[in-house]
Chain A
Amino acid sequence: MQLARGGGSVASALGLLSATLLGANSACAQESGAININDDTSTDLGKTRIDMSVLYYAEDGGRLKAIEPVASATLNASDGSTFNVRLTSDTLTGATPNGAAPWIAPQTFITPIKTPDSETTTTSASGHSVIVTIPGTGVVASQYTAPANSLPLDYGFKDQRYAIDLGYSKLLAPDLRGSFGGAFSTERDYRSISFYGGVEKELFQKRTTLSASANIEFDQSKPKIGIPVPLSPMSGLLKGPNQNKTVIGGVIGVTEVVNRFWLAQLNYSADLSEGYQTDPYRIISVVDGGSGTPLQYLYESRPRSRFRQSVYAASKIAAGPTVADLSARVYKDDWGVKSFTGEIKERIPFGSAFYFEPRFRYYTQGKADFFKDYLLAGAPLPAFATSDSRLGKFSAKTIGAKIGVRLGGGEFYLKGDRYIQSGDQNPPGTIPGLAGENLFTGVSATSIIVGYSFAFY
C-alpha cells in the first residue's frame, strides 16, 4: 500500500513537472519559434486573440458570388473564462436557379416588384430583366427570359447580410466549464436571432470530456415581394405577409484521449424546426407528360416541420511530425434526406514557420421525399413539391489546401477549395420530352479564404 501511495505521489510530482516543462516549452515556442510549427504548444491564457479573414466564393457559370469579411476577438482571462465577439458581413450577387426545368424554347418568368423603381432580391437593373405592366391590370412587375435548353436562372440575386456572434464561457469548477451565447443576423429578406447554453465536464484526469448544449433560434423570412401561397401560380402580384420559423436543438458529445497520439470525438445532435421553411422565390414547372412543354409555374411547397439528426465522429492523430484530421457524419431527417460526409486533412510542417495542409471531403445525399424535377400536368397536386437541387440526390467533392505561415508574432493563413457537385442529368423515369435536357442544377464553386490571427497580453 505504501508503495502504491508512493507511486501516486511520484505520478503527481511528474505530472506537475511535465506541466511546468510544457509551460516552459510553450513560452519557448512563442519566443523563439518551435522547431516544427506543428509542435507549437503556446496557449492563449491571459491573452486577447484577434482573428480576421476574408472569404471569396464564386460559382461556375456566372452564378452566385460572395465576399465575406469576418473579424473576431477573444478575451482569455487568466482564470480560464473567455469572451468572444465575432462580426460578419456577407455581400452576395449573381444568379440562382429559379426552379423551373429547362426547355427546348426560351421561357419567360414574371416576378413582383414593390414599386416600379424598387430593387428587390429577385429583380434588379442587371440587364437580364425588364419592367412590364401586366395588360388590363395596371400591375407593374419584372420579367426575365431564360434561353432555350439552359437552366433558368434568376440573375437579380443581390443581398447583404450582417451578423454578430457573442459567446462567454467560464470554469464553474476545476473540471466543469459552462458557456452561453447568442447570435443575431439580418439581411434584406431574412432575420435570425439565436441563443445557446452548454456545459463540459472533464473526467478521469481529463482523459474524457462530456459535453451537452442546447440552442433556440427564431427566424423571420421577409421578402419584399411577400410570401407566396405554396403551389400557387407564379405571378407579378405582391404576395402575403412575413413568415416565422423556430428551431430548437441540442448536441451531446464525448471527447476521449485515446492514447498519446490520438484524440477522438463523438457527437449526437438533433433539432426540430417548426414554421415556414419554403423558398419564397423558387418555382417548379408543371409540364405536359409527353412533350415536356411547360404549361405553368407554381411556387414550391415544403413541410412546416423538420426533425433532423446526425452522428458526427472526428479524430486528431499526431502521425510523426504531421497531424491528421479525420471526420465523418451520418445524417437523416424526416423530410427523407439522408447523407454521409467524410473528410480528411493532413497538416504537414516545413520547419518552424510554415505548414501545408491538403484536404479532401466527400459528401453524398439522397433526395427528400417531395423532391421532383417537375410536376406533370393533369396529375393530382402533391401537398409538397420542390425542385431545389439541395434537396435532390447528388454527391459532392471538395479538394483543397491550406497554408499557414508564422508571421509577425501571429499566423497568416490561406485556404483554397474547389467544390464540385455531381448528379443525374436525366434521372430514371424522365419524360421523353425532357430527355435531352440537363435536369441537374447543382453547382461547382471555387472559394478562397485568407486571414491573420495573433494574440497579445
Chain B
Amino acid sequence: MKSENLSRLLLRASVAFLLANGAAGCASFDVNPWDRDLLARRSMQFNTHPLITAADEHIYFSKEGSSGGRAFGGGGCGCN
C-alpha cells in the first residue's frame, strides 16, 4: 500500500467515525442521567483490567512494528 493511500484511508476512517459519532451524538440527546444504568456498569469501562491491558501492550510492542493508539505508544524497555 502506498503512503498516500494509507493517508487517505486514515483520513476517511477518521471522517467516517466522526460523522457516525456526530450523527449518534445528535441521537444521544435523550441519553439522560437516568438512562445510564448500563453505562455505569464496571464491565462497560474501556479498560476493565489495567494490568492485563499493560501486559498485552507490552507483548505487542515487543513483537510488532507498530504500537500505541489507546494511549502512549509503548516504550520504556529495550525490547523493540
Mark the stretch among A138-146, A228-236, A259-267 that contacts chain B.
A259-267
Q: Which residue of B has the minimal Cβ distance to A12?
A: B33
Q: Does A316 contact B (CB under 8 A)?
A: yes
Query: Taking A53-B51, A310-B73 as contacts, is the C-beta distance between A263 and B6 under 8 angstroms?
Result: no
A333 to B66 alpha-carbon distance, docked (Å) = 8
B52 touches A258 (CB 8 A): no
A14 touches B28 (CB 8 A): no
Q: Which residue of B has the minimal Cβ distance to A335?
A: B65
A355 to B42 alpha-carbon distance, docked (Å) = 13
**Cross-interface CB contact of A11 among B32, B54, B58, cutoff 8 Å:** B32
Mark the stretch among A125-133, A288-296, A323-331 that contacts chain B.
A323-331
Category for how many chain A residues contact B: 35 or more
A363 touches B64 (CB 8 A): yes
**Cross-interface CB contact of B52 among A217, A323, A396, A449, cutoff 8 Å:** A449
Give the number of A-B contacts (CB < 8 Å).
232
Query: Taking A260-B31, A309-B10 as contacts, is the C-beta distance between A419 and B75 under 8 angstroms?
Result: no
Q: How far is the CB of B22 from chain A (nearest CB, A)?
A: 9
B46 touches A215 (CB 8 A): no
- With a cutoff of 8 Å between Cβ atoms, the chain A residues found around residue B14 in the complex are 266, 268, 311
Q: How far is the CB of B10 from chain A (nearest CB, A)?
A: 5
Per-residue B-contact encoding for A314-354, CB less than 8 Å = 1, 0 else: 10101000010001011111001111010000010000000
A189 touches B21 (CB 8 A): no
- CB within 8 Å of A: which of B50-74? 50-52, 54-56, 58-60, 63-66, 68-73
**Cross-interface CB contact of A41 among B41, B58, B72, cutoff 8 Å:** B41
Q: How far is the CB of A127 from chain B (nearest CB, A)?
A: 24
B70 touches A332 (CB 8 A): no
Per-residue B-contact encoding for A82-118, CB less than 8 Å = 1, 0 else: 0000101010000000000000000000000000000
Mark the stretch among A169-177, A248-256, A372-380, A430-438 that contacts chain B.
A248-256
Q: Which residue of B has the minimal Cβ distance to A219?
A: B75
Number of interface residues of B (CB under 8 A): 57
A265 touches B46 (CB 8 A): yes
A72 to B80 alpha-carbon distance, docked (Å) = 25
A217 touches B76 (CB 8 A): yes
Per-residue B-contact encoding for A388-403, CB less than 8 Å = 1, 0 else: 0011100010000010
Q: Which residue of B has the minimal Cβ distance to A315?
A: B46
A256 touches B55 (CB 8 A): no
- With a cutoff of 8 Å between Cβ atoms, the chain B residues found around residue A90 in the complex are 77
A309 to B65 alpha-carbon distance, docked (Å) = 12
B78 touches A187 (CB 8 A): yes
B66 touches A331 (CB 8 A): yes
**Cross-interface CB contact of A18 among B17, B34, B66, cutoff 8 Å:** B34
A366 to B1 alpha-carbon distance, docked (Å) = 8
Per-residue A-contact encoding for B18-46, CB less than 8 Å = 1, 0 else: 10010011011101111111111111111
**Cross-interface CB contact of A217 among B21, B35, B75, cutoff 8 Å:** B75
List residues of chain A with CB under 8 Å of any chain B CB: 11, 14-15, 17-19, 22, 25, 37-42, 51-53, 55, 57, 68, 70, 72, 86, 88, 90, 159, 161, 163, 183, 185, 187, 189-190, 192, 194, 196, 204-205, 207-208, 213, 215, 217, 219, 221, 247, 249, 251, 254-269, 271, 308-314, 316, 318, 323, 327, 329-333, 336-339, 341, 347, 355, 363, 365-366, 368, 390-392, 396, 402, 413, 415, 417, 419, 421, 443, 445, 447, 449, 451, 453
A-B contact pairs, 13 of them (CB 8 A): A18-B36, A22-B40, A53-B52, A90-B77, A159-B78, A207-B28, A219-B78, A257-B28, A260-B35, A269-B71, A271-B73, A312-B70, A318-B39
List the 6 shortest-distance A-B pairs measured between CB atoms, nearest first: A190-B78, A312-B69, A18-B34, A15-B33, A258-B24, A331-B66
- Given A263-B44, A311-B14, A449-B51, 9 more A-B residue pairs with CB atoms under 8 Å apart are A68-B55, A90-B77, A269-B68, A308-B68, A310-B66, A310-B69, A323-B41, A332-B7, A333-B66
List residues of chain B with CB under 8 Å of any chain A CB: 1, 3, 6-7, 9-10, 13-14, 17-18, 21, 24-25, 27-29, 31-46, 49-52, 54-56, 58-60, 63-66, 68-73, 75-78, 80
